[in-house]
Structure 1
Amino acid sequence: MRSLWIWLAVTALSMAVAQLPAGSGIFPFWPVIAALAVILTTRSAAAGLAAGVIGGTLVATGGHPIEALRSTFADHLIPQISSSWHIGALFFTLLLGAFAGVLESSGGFSAILERMLRGSKNPQKRVLGSVYGLGLLCFFDGLANSMLTGRIARPAVDRTGISREKLAWVVDSTSSPVACVAFISTWIATQLTLIQDSLPDADAYGLYFQSIPANPYCLLTLLLIPIAIHLDWEPKAMRRFQPKDVATNQETQTSGAPWRVLVPLLVLATSIAAGFQIWSEAPIDWTSLEAWRSAASSNAGPTALIAGALAGLIAACLCHPRNSPRPWQDAAKKGAAGLIPALIILILAWSLGSVFRTLGAAEAIQSLLGDGLSASSLPLAVFGVAALTAFTTGSSWGTMALLMPLALGVLVQTADPGSLLVIAPGVIGAVFGGAVFGDHASPFSDTTIVSALAAGCSPLDHVLSQLPYALTAAGAAAFAYLMMSLGLHPAASTGLAAVILFLTVLLLRRRSRA
C-alpha cells in the first residue's frame, strides 16, 4: 500500500511538472529526481527506474496520461527490447545465470577450496587468500559470486578463528569488482549496451577494454584484499568483531571434483572468444591480433555471447555429477530465475536512457556546468556523483543506468572531437567504479546484504566493518582520476595510485599497532 501511494504521488507531481512553461529547466532532470525519490523510499531499483521512465514520458507528453502510456511502450520500451544487442544481452544473462547455478550445484568449488587449504602453515591467511582466489574464479557474476563463496567458505573461517565479518568483506570486495572488469560476466552485456546506446557510432568493445585501466576503484579494491591479508591489516571497525564459536557452527558442504568447474569455465571463455571471429564478417585468423580486434569491433557480439554461454552451459551440464542431490535441470532453472529481477532492471535502464535522450538531459547538464568543468576533469566528477548515487540508492546497476547516458552525453557536449574517444574510457570507468564503490558502502545494496547473509553476519555489521577498506580504495581511486585530469595515462595513474594505496596501508597498519 505504501508503494502505491508513493507511485501515485510521483505520477501527480510529474503531471504538475509537465504543466510548467515550455523549456522549463526542471524538465530534463525530472526523471532522475523521480527515480531517486522512489528508490530512496522503496529501496527498489526497479521501482525507481520505472518511476523515472513514467515521470519522464509524462513530462515529455505534456502531462497526458494516455499519451504518456502510449509513448512509454511505443517510443521507449518496445524499441529497446527489439534491438539485436539488447535481445542478445537478455539471453546471455539468462544463460549465464543458469551456468552459474549448475556450477554451484556440482560441488566443484568446494573441492577447489579444500585443496587450496591443504598444508598451510598460516591457516587464517590461507583461508582468506583461498576465498579471494575462489572469488576471482567466480568472475562471471557478482551476486552469484557472493552467495557461492560465502556459503562455501563459512565452515573454514569458523574452524580457523576468522570473524564472519572479515569473510563478508573479502567476499563482497571480490565479487562486484571482478565482475565489473571481467570481459565475460553477467555485467558485460549491460555495460556494452549502455556504452553502445550512449555512443552509437563508437566501438563499444574497444571502449570497454580501454575503460578497465581507467576503473581504478575496482582494480585497487582487488589489489587491496591480498595486501591487507598479507600485512594482516585490520581497521578498528573490523577488529572489534570476534570469530564465532566453532563448536556450535559446524556446517557441511557438498564437495565434488575441481574439473567439474574448470572445464565448463574453459569452454565458456574459449567459445565466446572464438565466436567473435566465427560470426564476424572479417576473415578468420586465430594468430592475428588485428583479426581479433576487427572481430571484437564487429556486430558478432550478441551471437558470440549467446553461443559461448550456451556452449558453457552444455559443458556444465555434462560435467554435473549424476548422483548430485539437485539435478542439473533444477540448478539451471534456479540460476536463471535468480537473474530475472536484474533483467527487469536492465530493460527499465534502457528505457530510461531513451527518455533522457528525448528530454535532452545531457545538453541541460552541460548548460548548467558551463565552462566550470573541463572535459579532462569529467571522470573525477563523475566518479564522485556515481559513488553518491549508488550509496543512496544501493544499486550499482541502477546507478550505471542513470549516469552512463548522462555522463557520456555531457562528454560529447564538452570535449572536442579529437579528444572525445581519449577521455571517454575514463568517464566510462568512473561510472562503473563509482557505482561499485557506492554499492559497497551502502547498507541498501543487494550484494552487501547477500554477502553478509552468505557469510553469516549482520548486514549492518558488514557495512560498518567494510567501510574503512572501501574508503581507502576510493581515496586512492580519486587520486588516480586527479592524475588523469592532469594528463597522465589511465594505466600510469592507476599504477601510481596502487603505490599510494600500498604505502597508505603500511602507514595505517603501523598506527593501528602503535
Structure 2
Amino acid sequence: MGITITATVTTLVGSFILAGLDAAWCVLWPSLAALVVVLVSRSALVGLLVGAVCGAILLSEGSMLGAIEQLCLNQFGPIFGSSWKLSAMLFTLILGGFVALVEAGGGLQGLVRRLLGSERAAHRRMQMTVFGFGLLVFFDGLANVMLIGRLLRSAADRCGVSREKLAYLADTTGSAVACLAFISTWIAFQLSMIREGFALAGREDVSAYGYFFRSLPTNYYCWFALILALVCVWRGFNPGPMGAVERTARESMTSGADRSSELHASHWGLAIVPIAGLTFSIPVLTYVIGSETLWPFSLSKFAAAYGSAERYVPQILVASSLLASFVAAVTYAMALRARAEQDPSLLHGVAPRRRSAESASCIFIQGVREISVPVLILVAAWMLGAAISQLGTATWLCECLQGWLPLALLPAGTFVLGAAISFSTGTSWGTMGVLMPLAIPVIYSLTAGELDLERDRLVVAAIGAVFSGAVFGDHCSPFSDTTIVASIAAGVEPVNHVWTQLPFALIAGAVALVCGFIPLGFGLPALVCCGAGALVLGCLPRVWKRSCIG
C-alpha cells in the first residue's frame, strides 16, 4: 500500500513539474505514469485513474482548478455523450445478466460436458472450445471477448484451464479475427481509413475493399497470433508466467467440482438456443438495417450492409444482448419447471410462472451487479485515452520517426510505429486512424520514380503493417479496452492478463517482424513470408521444451 501511495504522489508531482516545461516528449508522461502505477499497485483501476489525472494536469498547464475542470468536462463527461461508449457499457452489463441466466439454467454445464467428453482430454478440448468460439464470433472483437470469457470461465475452472489462459485465448481470437474478417464491425472503419490514405495521396479512384483483401496475407501479426494460440493449445506451449498459472490450475482441478456441477446440468440445447440467439442476431440485425433490399442475398451485399449500418452498431449490440437475455430467461424458466417436476418443493407453493419470472429477474440483476464494478476500469481507460488524444501523443510519435527508414524497411517501420502508438494509447482503431492516412501518402511520395507495380506492393504491405501494429500494441497494452474487457470477462486482474499474455504477443510480433515485414519489404512474396513464420512458430515447442506442459 505504501509503495502505491509513493508512486501515485511521485507521478502527480512530476506532472506539475512537467507542466511548466516546454518539452514535446511530455505527451508520453500520462501513459508512462499509468504504466508505472499499474505495475506497482497491481491495480488497473488505480493506474488508469492516475494516468488520467496526470494528463489533465498537463493539459491545464499545472493549474489545480483547471485540471479538475479538464478531468470532469473533457475526459469524464464526454464518455456519456458517446453512443459507442454508452452502448459498450450497457452491452457489457446486460451480457453479465445474460450469462448468469444461461449458467443458472444448467444448459451450459450440459453443453460443456458434451463438448469435452472424457476427463483425460478435457483440458485440451476446453481450450479448443474457447478457440473455436473465438473463430465463430468473428463479427465483433468486444462481443467475442466478453461472450467467451464470461460464458466459459466456470467450465475452464472445472477442466484445469487457468483464467489467465482463458483471457489470452479470448483476447487473441477477438481482435485478430475481427481485424481479418471481411464482414465485421471493424471493416467499415478499416475501409474508411484506407480511402482516407489514398485520398491524401491524390488517388480517389481506388477500391478500398480490393486493397483490404490484398493486404490480408500481409497482416502477419494477426495470422501469427492465431497460429501461436493453436500451437499453445495443441502442444501445451506456455512460455513465461503462463506456465506457472497453468500448472497451478491443473493441480487445483478436482473431479468433485465436475460431479457437483452435474447435479444442476440440463439439456445442452438450453444453452445453445440463447447463445445462438446472441451470436446470430448481431449480423442479422446489421444486415436488415444496412441493406436496402433483403432479397436476393449475397456475400457482397452482406458486406456492403455492414458498411451502411456502421453508425448503428452500438445500438445493435445492445438490442441483441437484450433479445438474447429474454431468450435466456425463457430457457431458464423451462429448466426450472423441469426441475420442479422432479422436486416440487423448489416452487415452495408459488405459481410456476411467477416463481420463474421472479427467479430469472433476480439472477439477471445479480449478474449485472457482478460485472458493474469492473466496468469502472473501462471508464478510467477512456478517461486516460481522452487525455492522450488531446495531448497528440500519436501524432508526435509519427512525426519523430517519419523519414528515418529506407524504402525497403518501411513496412517493418510502419509495424513498429503502429505497435508503439497502440501500446501507448491503448486503442487499435485510434492507431489505424492516425497511421493509415500517413503511411499511404508517405509511400506515394517516396516512390515517385518507381514502377506502379512496386509502389502498389509497398502500399499493400503498409496497409497490412498498420493493421498488424495496431492489434499487436493493443494486445500488449494495459490501457486497451479489449484487454480490460477480456480480463473482466475471464475474472482475472487486467495486470495479470497483460503479464501472462505479453510473451505470446512478443513472440508473434517478433516473428511477424523478422519473418514477415522485413523480407516482404525486400521483395519476398507475402505467402512465402507467411509460411516461413508459421513454420517457425510450429517448431517453437521443440526448441523451447521447458515451456511445454503436457
Q: TM-score range by the shorter chain?
A: 0.7 to 0.9
Q: Distance in 2 between matches of 1:49 and 1:197?
A: 30
Q: Which has the larger radius of gyration?
A: 2
User: 2:170 is matched with which residue: 169, 172, 175?
Assistant: 175
Cα displacement (A) at 1:190: 11
Q: Distance in 2 between matches of 1:285 and 1:433?
A: 39
Distance 1:408 1:55, change over 3 A: same
SS at match of 2:290: coil
Compare the two structures and name the one with the higher helix fraction. 2
* 8 Å Cα contact 1:128-1:170 kept in structure 2: no
Q: Distance in 2 between matches of 1:468 and 1:11?
A: 31
Cα displacement (A) at 1:273: 0.9
Deviations 1:242-294 (A, max 9, x none): 85696887752131221112111221122111211333374434613333222
Deviations 1:118-151 (A, max 9, x none): 4x6xx63355224421563376554774565453
User: 1:152 is matched with which residue: 152, 155, 158?
Assistant: 155
Residue 502 of structure 1: aligned partner: 538
Correspondence list, 1:58-207, <5 A: 58-118=57-117, 124-125=120-121, 127-134=123-130, 136-137=132-133, 140=143, 142=145, 145-146=148-149, 149=152, 151-155=154-158, 157=159, 164=160, 171-181=166-176
User: 2:316 is matched with which residue: 301, 304, 308?
Assistant: 304
Residue 11 of structure 1: aligned partner: 12
What RMSD over aligned residues (CA atoms) do the two structures have, in Å? 4.9
Cα displacement (A) at 1:195: 7.8
Residue 160 of structure 1: aligned partner: none
Q: Distance in 2 between matches of 1:364 and 1:358?
A: 12
TM-score normalised to structure 2 length:
0.68
* 8 Å Cα contact 1:214-1:490 kept in structure 2: no
Q: Distance in 2 between matches of 1:423 and 1:313?
A: 42
The number of residues matched between the two structures is 473
Deviations 1:470-493 (A, max 9, x none): 776555444345455557787775
Cα displacement (A) at 1:348: 3.3
Deviates more, 1:319-328 or 1:287-296: 319-328
User: 2:426 is matched with which residue: 401, 407, 430?
Assistant: 401
Q: Distance in 1 between matches of 2:194 and 2:53?
A: 24
Correspondence list, 1:350-389, <5 A: 350-373=382-405, 375-378=410-413, 380-382=415-417, 385=420
* 8 Å Cα contact 1:353-1:405 kept in structure 2: no
Q: Distance in 2 between matches of 1:131 and 1:250?
A: 17
Unmatched runs of 5 consecutive residues or more in structure 1: 158-163, 390-398
Cα displacement (A) at 1:14: 1.4
Q: Percent identity between the aligned chains? A: 18
User: 1:339 is matched with which residue: 338, 363, 371?
Assistant: 371
* 8 Å Cα contact 1:141-1:179 kept in structure 2: yes
Q: Distance in 2 between matches of 1:423 and 1:189?
A: 21
Residue 263 of structure 1: aligned partner: 273
Distance 1:447 1:92, change over 3 A: closer
Unmatched runs of 5 consecutive residues or more in structure 2: 138-142, 198-207, 340-345, 347-355, 445-457
Deviates more, 1:344-353 or 1:474-483: 474-483
SS at match of 1:268: helix
* 8 Å Cα contact 1:28-1:356 kept in structure 2: yes
* 8 Å Cα contact 1:213-1:491 kept in structure 2: no
Q: Distance in 1 between matches of 2:394 and 2:521?
A: 21
Cα displacement (A) at 1:96: 2.3
* 8 Å Cα contact 1:31-1:53 kept in structure 2: yes
